[in-house]
Amino acid sequence: MSSYVVIASLDRAAKLPNHESMKRVAILFCALLFGASIFGAGQEASGLLAKGTKWETPFYSRDSGKPGPTVVLTGGIHGNEPAGAGAAEQVRHWPIKRGRLIIVPRVNRPGLEKGTRYLPDEPLAHRDLNRNFPKTDSDEPTRGVLAQALWTLIKREKPTWLIDLHEGYDFHQLNSKSVGSSIIDTHDKAAGEVVPIMLQMVNAGIAEPKKKLVRLRYPVDGSLARAAHERLQTSAMILETTSKEQPLSKRIRQHRLMVHAFLKHLGMAAGSANVMMPRETKVLRIAVYDAGGVGGRGPRELEHIFLGMDDVLTRRVGGTGIREGVLRQFDLIIFPGGSGSKQAAALEPAGREAVRGFVEKGGGYMGICAGSYLAAANYKWSLAISNHQTYCETLELPDIGRKSMWYRGPSATVKMELTDEGRAILGDVKGQIDVRYHNGPVMSPMGNAGLKAFRSLATFRSEVSKYKPQKDTMVNTPAIIAGNFGKGRVLCISPHPESVPALNSMVQNAIRWAGHGNKKTSPKGHP
């Protein structure tokens, strides 16, 4: 029996008569026992590689039920390359028109969890998973439990194509030592036909010529792509994005564009490249903005918050995706810290209007620090979805010069206290709470007649001030506010509770309130 096993869908099986459930289990068992393909026509299935080991990781299959190619897509072979894993996780929700699509989104799961390229705790000779597959002109077996499990799957399914998603550390055209921003393929006739199409699709959205993707050399010896081509006559390619100076959402999108162009060329693609979520799910679907204007800490700290939530599904999004309508797949969007004005600029007018429309129709909005500036109503560039203004004057100070009053100094700890409504929504925490503050907005009512008034959920009880005019302007002002825009909920947080582990549950409650409040009326569907 192979080192992987099918996991029957309990949700679907529970709805079948008992004899039908037993029949399905028997079919799956026989497939495994006799070496037949484990995926039947018209089925969606899942399984585990290296079941029962520390390398255990899921894989998925979509079978159209119609004749066509078999494509295997892998991501996360190197654990410090999260874009491939993220893209593969999204692609697995794509419908297909013909053939089969088999996806292993997070091959090196322990490496991805630790953010390391290599297989954790493995011998030096075996630690690079993508060097553990059969080599050219060598009888050396596949090395290691995980490589053996993946290679067994590949051999059994005999794919027409294998696509392996990776990331380089720099742009190849700017640094030839890196394979970043390239397609590395087996240079056979089939690849020669489709690679130019993929490059044209992904490069259309890249303005700088030296950052465009290019076609490179034959895959490295010992890699999964090369082994599949030489041992199984599978057409194969490695897609490399670049982690340098590019947010994760952008790299994931580049992978999606290339994979979609590839599947479309094969006549398999049945939907948009912007599908990021399952069409139907009972969990809260959260988009985290991670593009222009976002600081480095925000998205990472939110990921730690999400780890404690089994009722959410999260994706990172950028301005391009927002302008293209991806928010239709989500219940909530979170804008983390950074610069509100730069976030607004990166969104562009069309993106800002898309966010406004999303909230107005029932989507949730949560802004942390910069995201609260973005939601305000007192800037030409802000979204005006919350009826608050910020203390942002620029004053001429004696012996100092002109200074902006939003800047209050470096990061510091301040105290805040929840209101009665705040305790009902965020958690029943009484007394003053320590929280990190880093120049978040000092908020007050804007008085815009077209907007509903906000409610205070927490109040600052201490302050940070660098200049004399700022003194006593922060104490007793709202630290967290809630309001409505159209059918949607808006939650604005001035400080950074996501940076304080003791406040994780408070942030989780805030997320659930903002996202679930109008879930029945929130926008649904795929682009």
Query: Do 69 and 266 touch, CB atoms closer than 8 A?
Result: yes
If asked whether residues 400 and 253 sit together in one domain, one would say no
If asked whether residues 446 and 319 sit together in one domain, one would say yes
Per-residue pLDDT, 526: 60
Tell me the pLDDT tens digit for each residue of 417-456: 999 999 999 999 999 999 999 999 999 999 999 899 999 9
Tell me the pLDDT tens digit for each residue of 142-181: 999 999 999 999 999 999 999 999 999 999 999 999 999 9
When pLDDT is averaged across residues 488-516 and rounded to a whole number, the result is 97
In a domain, 120, yes or no: yes
pLDDT at 406 over 70: yes
Percent of the chain with pLDDT over 70: 90
If asked whether residues 238 and 347 sit together in one domain, one would say no
The number of folded domains in the chain is 2
pLDDT at 269 over 80: yes
Residue where the block lists tokens 């597959």? 133
Per-residue pLDDT, 115: 94
The domain boundary, picked from 232, 265, 298, lies at 265
Per-residue pLDDT, 280: 85
If asked whether residues 232 and 304 sit together in one domain, one would say no
**Residue whose C-alpha is closest to residue 331's, from 519, 526, 483:** 519
If asked whether residues 414 and 351 sit together in one domain, one would say yes
Q: How confident is the model at residue 140 (pLDDT cuts 50, 70, 90)?
A: confident
In a domain, 177, yes or no: yes
Percent of the chain with pLDDT over 90: 84
In a domain, 521, yes or no: no
When pLDDT is averaged across residues 386-409 and rounded to a whole number, the result is 92
Query: Do 93 and 273 touch, CB atoms closer than 8 A?
Result: no
In a domain, 522, yes or no: no
Per-residue pLDDT, 438: 97
Q: Which range of residues forms the domain containing residue 220?
A: 41-265
Tell me the pLDDT tens digit for each residue of 173-209: 999 999 999 999 999 999 999 999 999 999 999 999 9
Q: How confident is the model at residue 25 (pLDDT cuts 50, 70, 90)?
A: very low
In which order are the strands placed within the sheet that holds 235-242?
A: 5-7, 44-49, 57-63, 100-104, 70-75, 161-168, 235-242, 182-185, 214-216
Per-residue pLDDT, 390: 96
Per-residue pLDDT, 141: 87
**Residue whose C-alpha is closest to residue 276's, from 331, 235, 213:** 331
Tell me the pLDDT tens digit for each residue of 325-374: 999 999 999 999 999 999 999 999 999 999 999 999 999 999 999 999 99
Tell me the pLDDT tens digit for each residue of 216-239: 989 999 999 999 999 999 999 999
Per-residue pLDDT, 523: 45
Please give the structure tokens belonging to residue 469: 């005019």
In a domain, 276, yes or no: no
If asked whether residues 236 and 311 sit together in one domain, one would say no
If asked whether residues 294 and 338 sit together in one domain, one would say yes
Query: What angle, 0 to 180 degrees and rounded to 10, lies between the N-to-C axes of helices 248-265 and 189-203?
Result: 140
In a domain, 27, yes or no: no
CATH number at residue 213: 3.40.630.10
When pLDDT is averaged across residues 499-505 and rounded to a whole number, the result is 96
Query: Do 216 and 144 touch, CB atoms closer than 8 A?
Result: no
If asked whether residues 390 and 493 sit together in one domain, one would say yes
Per-residue pLDDT, 359: 98
In a domain, 253, yes or no: yes
If asked whether residues 374 and 489 sit together in one domain, one would say yes
pLDDT at 23 over 90: no
The domain boundary, picked from 212, 232, 265, lies at 265
CATH number at residue 411: 3.40.50.880
Per-residue pLDDT, 7: 31
Residues 186, 192, 196: CA angle, nearest 5 degrees: 115
pTM of the model as a whole: 0.89
User: CA-to-CA distance for 438 and 406, rounded, in angstroms?
Assistant: 10
SS3 state of residue 224: helix
If asked whether residues 491 and 401 sit together in one domain, one would say yes
Per-residue pLDDT, 393: 86
If asked whether residues 324 and 445 sit together in one domain, one would say yes
Residue count of the chain, please give it. Answer: 527
Q: What's the whole-number average pLDDT of the chain? A: 90
In a domain, 369, yes or no: yes
If asked whether residues 409 and 502 sit together in one domain, one would say yes
Per-residue pLDDT, 516: 86
pLDDT at 17 over 80: no
